[in-house]
Chain A
Amino acid sequence: MTTGGWQHRGVPAGLLLITLFASGAAASLATGGRSDVGLSALLGVFGAEPKSLAQSVMFDIRLPRTLVAVFIGINLAMAGLILQAVTRNPLASPSILGVNQGAALGMVLALFFPAMSGSAVGVFAVTGALTAGALTFAIAGGFQGELNSLRLILGGVAVGAFACALVRFSFTLDDDLSRQVVRWTSGNIADMRWHDVGPLAGLSITGLIATVLLSHRLNLMALGEASATGLGTDPRITLLFGAVLAAILTGASVAVAGPVAFVGLVVPHMCRLVFGPDHRILVPAAALGGATLMVLADFASKWVIAPFETPVGVIAALIGAPYFLYQTLVAKDLE
């Protein structure tokens, strides 16, 4: 018996994932309200001036939207992977720990102040994510150095439910505002433009590099606090860096697209099954996996009830929830 056989699966699985990502991205770009705009419009779209109508649709509407899906996928998968590693809890993820909902609440608070716009909203979302994460950690005893797995999950559910309730409460306040909140909390990326892509892309890429640098520390975290310390990495630093990084990545994606659940939970799981437990491989794999799931979800959101749109968050949950159920009932690695 060898270790699950993923040493041999890694390369073909990686190639398959890259192919899947490429097809998903192509499908996402090729689908949209105007069926006459196909992938061919992508050719020369960066150089062409003036653009044809099809090129404009591709460049101004579809490309930013697909890119946002890619970066949100990366962010949530990284956040989930980091949180699962630092808490040594396979159930940890932005949505289970209430970080997603905290970011949403921060965002709703920002919507109340009309003066807030652009990056200020992002700052509110990140602050909400950090606050919710810190609360959950405090409930689980994480600050006393004795992180309790069950209390972490239960605390996360409680914090998430509370934040969610406050977000819902805002529905009752003002019609315009509540419409905005409802639209946005269902995880919608239909109206993404280039100005949404820039900051998200910057944070995603920085976050990805930071996670790569953190990856071996995440490996050592799996050995427990004592061994991690004994091997020369202070687990408290890993925990702090990891949790803050996860909150920022989640906050950034929530600020753009609203809370998208399950991606952060499911993608790291699938990747661990296929690529094994080494985070130096898992980090790029999960980033690609998250991007793939989100471009596929984006394609599906445009295609399922075309010409109408289904919010991408709904599609992600429709893909993620059954997989999670399968994991819980069938697979063994949840322990």
Chain B
Amino acid sequence: MSIKLHGVSAGYSGFMLRDISLTITKGSFTALIGPNGCGKSTLLNTIARVLPTRAGTIHIGGRNIATARTKEIARTVTVLPQNPVVPPAISVEQLVHYGRAPHQNLLGMRSQADHDAVENALHTTSLTDLRRRPLAELSGGQRQRAFIAMCLAQDTPYLLFDEPTSFLDIRYQYETLDLLADLQSTGRTCVVVLHDIAQAARYADNLVVMRDGAIQAQGRPADVVTPEMLSQIYDLQAKVFSDPVSCTPALSPVSAGRLSNLNEHIQTSQSLENPDAREVAVRFH
């Protein structure tokens, strides 16, 4: 019972995923990281069968998604797209109810189980008070939470989220990731595209690093997040250290333009044997 990709090629005409083989174990928290345009979103959407597979096979929970019914996949996997279309005028509650569609009949008739799942999802995302508000009136962060609530209402064992923390301020970023971690602890499998490598390393137990439509590295964050990887994948010179709170890898770039000036400044100051220079430079920054 896991997500298994074997020799998968997929993507748009101008961009292709090349020969991807990947196993995501059940109950894991997998973060897909990599530079812009590396194919993270394409991979996520291919697993959810939002995009067609051109070669290779994808099995989710032992079921080949190429032959499964769309509704059957939707009861197994929920997908939060990167830029969900915001339907004008519909309320938060209606949106969250749409998450129940795969469990409902053709007309979307609501059962008690549907109501319970929606209440639960609204509560979990702290949207109970906003339930009657139209989506168009919400802030970007509230809207993102509404879409997350829709995915929660779908109540699937596998969750695929494409940059769920974008548009969110830092508090809600961590709340969202904590929520995903909670869901993982109830036995669900989370696959999440993240931009922030430190966040990815903090929450995921499995990192998949992509570049140019292929997987470059995979493994535990402590093994994967290294200065060598950052330099090879992101062309970024950075120091990697242990996050003082989570004890997971965090990083600080050393080559960015402004900071390199600072480093020069620090070096110059140090050469002048001024012990306070480093602190001054940091405060100045």
Asked whether A and B interact, the reply is yes
* CB–CB A233/B48 < 8 A: no
* CB–CB A4/B154 < 8 A: no
* CB–CB A277/B107 < 8 A: no
- Residue interface mask A223-236, B partner, CB < 8 A = 1: 11111011111100
Q: Chain A interface: which of B132-140, B168-176, B205-213, B230-238?
A: B132-140
Q: When chains A and B are docked, how far (Å) is the Cα of A333 from the Cα of B136?
A: 11
- Residue interface mask B29-64, A partner, CB < 8 A = 1: 000000000000000010011100000000000000
* CB–CB A333/B71 < 8 A: no
Chain A residues with Cβ below 8 Å from B49 are 229
Q: When chains A and B are docked, how far (Å) is the Cα of A333 from the Cα of B85?
A: 15
* CB–CB A232/B101 < 8 A: yes
Q: When chains A and B are docked, how far (Å) is the Cα of A217 from the Cα of B88?
A: 16
Known: A3-B132, A220-B98, A220-B101. A233 touches B108 (CB 8 A): no
- Residue interface mask B11-41, A partner, CB < 8 A = 1: 0000000000000000000000000000000
Chain B residues with Cβ below 8 Å from A333 are 88-89
| Residue B79, interface by CB 8 Å | yes
Contact residues of B between 131 and 161, Cβ < 8 Å to A: 132-134, 137, 150, 154
Q: When chains A and B are docked, how far (Å) is the Cα of A3 from the Cα of B134?
A: 5
| Residue B94, interface by CB 8 Å | yes
Chain B residue at smallest Cβ distance from A90: B88
Most buried by B among A222, A224, A230, A231: A230
Chain A residue at smallest Cβ distance from B156: A230
Most buried by B among A212, A278, A333, A335: A278
* CB–CB B98/A230 < 8 A: no
Known: A1-B133, A272-B89, A333-B89. A216 touches B107 (CB 8 A): yes
Most buried by B among A217, A226, A276: A226
Chain A residue at smallest Cβ distance from B99: A231
Chain A residue at smallest Cβ distance from B94: A278
* CB–CB B107/A280 < 8 A: yes
Residue of B74, B78, B132 near A2 (CB, 8 A) is B132
Q: When chains A and B are docked, how far (Å) is the Cα of A277 from the Cα of B71?
A: 23
Tell me what chain A mostly uses at the interface: helix, strand, loop, or mixed: loop
Residue of A1, A230, A233 near B137 (CB, 8 A) is A1
Most buried by A among B91, B98, B101, B102: B101
Residue of B85, B99, B132, B134 near A222 (CB, 8 A) is B85
* CB–CB A216/B89 < 8 A: no
| Residue B254, interface by CB 8 Å | no
| Residue B70, interface by CB 8 Å | yes
Q: When chains A and B are docked, how far (Å) is the Cα of A226 from the Cα of B162?
A: 11
- Residue interface mask A208-249, B partner, CB < 8 A = 1: 000011011101101111110111111000000000000000
- Residue interface mask B79-101, A partner, CB < 8 A = 1: 11100110111110011001101
Most buried by B among A220, A223, A234, A333: A223
Chain B residue at smallest Cβ distance from A225: B50
Chain A residues with Cβ below 8 Å from B72 are 232
Q: When chains A and B are docked, how far (Å) is the Cα of A335 from the Cα of B136?
A: 12
Chain B residues with Cβ below 8 Å from A217 are 106
Shortest beta-carbon distance from B145 to chain A in Å: 15
| Residue B75, interface by CB 8 Å | yes
Chain B residues with Cβ below 8 Å from A223 are 84-85, 87, 95, 98
| Residue A168, interface by CB 8 Å | no
| Residue B198, interface by CB 8 Å | no
* CB–CB A219/B108 < 8 A: yes
Residue of B71, B88, B89, B132 near A232 (CB, 8 A) is B71
10 contacts between A and B (CB under 8 A): A88-B85, A216-B104, A216-B106, A223-B85, A226-B79, A229-B79, A231-B102, A277-B89, A278-B90, A278-B94
Q: A219-B108, A333-B89 are in contact. List 13 more A-B contacts (CB 8 A).
A: A3-B134, A88-B85, A212-B107, A224-B84, A229-B48, A229-B50, A230-B48, A231-B101, A232-B102, A233-B101, A277-B87, A277-B89, A333-B88
| 8 tightest Cβ-Cβ pairs between the two chains A and B | A232-B74, A224-B85, A222-B87, A232-B71, A232-B102, A216-B108, A230-B79, A226-B81
Interface residues in chain B, defined as those with a beta carbon under 8 Å from any beta carbon in chain A: 45, 48-50, 70-75, 77-81, 84-85, 87-91, 94-95, 98-99, 101-102, 104, 106-108, 132-134, 137, 150, 154
